[in-house]
């Protein structure tokens, strides 16, 4: 089985024995939980679309191991065309879910670990690359969703991992055995962990010799003994618990989820280890992963942006002002910003290059420019959406009041739109805009645009490193006829 159906995926998650806590309670059934189910539906879409002939070219590829058709989310990029298709696939899924569909981090981790393990083996004659190839082939053959885990809690940011007062604030190896290692620590902001079969752990920063125990990469099942998942809060998340919730939820069927994932003395078998103390390769793995993931945002955020722009246009139409010049200008500006993000994602893909291992890496400078724009443009797009929507988006009565026979008649009368557009239609589109810009979907659009794949300063550091000022100065000297001293 190289491709699962969406329903097969749902049942495969149901079989996991995850140790999950949310809102102070243990969650034994994540599949049918009303808060978590929309996030599961978003991942399911990555399986559903792969079964549709019209999306086959974007959603699937061929395994480099077996030649079988596989889901592109489990693929190792073989050329720049693969990199471009990845971005187009992500935009498509953003359009279909208006949310985070959660498999991107695992896909980006696959490609960074694939090339890094090859070069680690090349220097140290280790067996990490073969370990990883076997793991990835297993993932492809079973069409698994894998959670990529990079961000540590970090504690005091001015101190390196080994200098922290609490040594567990960065995930570390606490015991090395002949048959494997034992790890302890945590990973924060883990997107889609409750919807994943495996978790692929990577270091979070470049490291020095003193941090040997923290330079670790491995994969284990998400229901491994010692793993505890604590689901994060999202704005308006408990609306999904309300009886017959529909309008007030906004994006009812899809969503994202994040969690703090604790590794309390988790055993990792020897053949699942991809880095074990080789500190100089920790930075390479981080940098390559960050580049891939910053490329990803030129696709997924754009797809969600498409939905938000559409919702804003509908809101203007329902308000009776679709042809007003300043409304049209705002929609044009939103489109301009959104397509600029997409252009950056395509550009860093088209300028990709082949690594020593054979897979393709994006252009790091352009990927960081892409993500730097993502830290800004979605905020402006969201601001313009809120401007067009009007204040009713955040002062509107609840769905329960709308359905109440006493108050409902007043809401239907006074919230009616242009040309007798019903109050219900206006409420639905306003709640969708609220959901994307302020509510539960904001974790996959607005706020994540700032901090996902690294903070703005992280991209600026990489832009400075990749910008090649020395070359630019030489070009200027040549044009100005300034001779070298």
Query: 63-74 burial, b for 16+ CB within 10 Å, e for fewer?
Result: bbeeeeebbbbb
| CATH superfamily assigned to domain 284-475 | Butyryl-CoA Dehydrogenase, subunit A, domain 3 (1.20.140.10)
pLDDT (tens digit per residue) in 373-406? 999 999 999 999 999 999 999 999 999 999 999 9
CATH number of 6-279: 2.40.110.10
- Confidence (pTM): 0.97
Closest to 451 measured CA to CA, from 251, 249, 248, 232: 232
In angstroms, rounded to a whole number, what is the distance separating the alpha carbons of residues 281 and 287?
10
Distance in angstroms (rounded) separating the CA atoms of residues 28 and 211: 37
Is 375 flagged in the annotation as binding? Answer: no
Q: What is the mean pLDDT of residues 352-360?
A: 98
pLDDT score of 438 more than 80: yes
Q: How far apart are CA 461 and CA 239, in angstroms?
A: 40
Instruction: Name the band, by pLDDT with cuts 50, 70 and 90, for residue 158.
Output: very high
Q: What are phi and psi of 452, to 5 degrees?
A: -65, 140
Cα–Cα dist 316/296, whole Å: 30
The contacts of residue 466 (CB under 8 Å, 6+ apart) are 364, 365, 368
Catalytic positions are 100, 104, 191, 258, 293, 297, 300, 448
Which stretches of 226-357 are DSSP H helices?
A: 282-318, 325-350
**The pLDDT of residue 484:** 82
Q: Which long-range contacts (CB under 8 A, 24 or more apart) does 423-427 make?
A: 424/247, 425/318, 426/315, 426/318, 426/319, 426/392, 427/247, 427/396, 427/399, 427/402
Q: What is the pLDDT of residues 462-474, one digit of tens each?
A: 999 999 999 999 9
Domain ranges of the chain: 6-279, 284-475
Under 8 Å between Cβ of 131 and 271: yes
- 217 bridge partner residues: 275
């Amino acid at each position: 089985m190289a491709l699962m159906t969406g329903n097969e995926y749902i049942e495969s998650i149901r079989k996991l024995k995850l140790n999950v806590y949310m809102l102070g309670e243990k969650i034994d059934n994540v599949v049918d939980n009303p808060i978590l189910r929309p996030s599961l539906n978003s991942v399911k879409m990555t399986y559903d679309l792969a079964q549709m002939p019209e999306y086959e070219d974007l959603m699937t590829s061929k395994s480099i191991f077996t030649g079988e058709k596989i889901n592109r989310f489990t693929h190792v990029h073989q050329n720049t065309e693969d990199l471009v298709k990845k971005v187009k696939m992500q935009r498509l899924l953003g359009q279909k879910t208006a949310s985070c569909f959660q498999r991107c981090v695992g896909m980006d981790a696959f490609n960074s670990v694939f090339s890094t393990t090859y070069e680690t083996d090349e220097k140290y004659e280790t067996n990490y690359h073969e370990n990883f190839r076997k793991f990835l082939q297993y993932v492809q053959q079973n069409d698994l969703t894998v959670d990529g885990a990079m961000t540590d809690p970090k504690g005091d940011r001015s101190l390196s991992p080994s200098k922290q007062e609490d040594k567990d604030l960065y995930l570390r190896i606490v015991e090395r055995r002949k048959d494997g290692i034992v790890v302890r620590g945590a990973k924060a902001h883990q997107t889609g962990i409750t919807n994943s079969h495996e978790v692929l752990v990577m270091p979070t920063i470049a490291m020095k010799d003193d941090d040997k125990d923290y330079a670790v990469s491995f994969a284990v099942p998400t229901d491994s003994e010692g793993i505890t998942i604590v689901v994060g809060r999202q704005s308006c998340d408990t609306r999904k618990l309300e009886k017959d919730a529909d309008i007030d939820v906004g994006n009812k069927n899809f969503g994202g989820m994040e969690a703090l994932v604790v590794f309390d003395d988790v055993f990792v078998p020897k053949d699942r280890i991809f880095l074990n103390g080789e500190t100089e390769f920790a930075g390479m793995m981080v940098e390559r992963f960050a580049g891939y993931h910053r490329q990803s945002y030129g696709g997924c955020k754009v797809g969600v942006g498409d939905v938000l722009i559409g919702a804003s246009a509908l809101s203007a139409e329902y308000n009776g002002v679709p042809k007003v010049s300043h409304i049209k200008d705002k929609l044009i500006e939103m489109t301009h910003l959104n397509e600029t993000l997409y252009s950056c994602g395509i550009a860093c893909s088209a300028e990709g290059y082949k690594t020593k291992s054979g897979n393709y890496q994006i252009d790091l400078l352009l990927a960081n420019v892409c993500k730097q724009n993502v830290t800004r443009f979605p905020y402006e797009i969201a601001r313009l959406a809120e401007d067009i929507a009007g204040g009713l988006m955040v002062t509107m009565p609840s769905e329960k009041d709308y359905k109440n026979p006493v108050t409902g008649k007043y809401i239907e009368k006074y919230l009616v739109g242009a040309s007798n557009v019903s109050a219900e239609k206006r409420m639905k589109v306003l709640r969708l805009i609220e959901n994307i810009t302020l509510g539960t979907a904001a974790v996959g659009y607005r706020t994540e645009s700032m901090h996902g794949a690294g903070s703005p300063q992280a991209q600026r550091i990489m832009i400075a490193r990749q910008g090649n000022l020395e070359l630019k100065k030489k070009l200027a000297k040549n044009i100005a006829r300034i001779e070298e001293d």
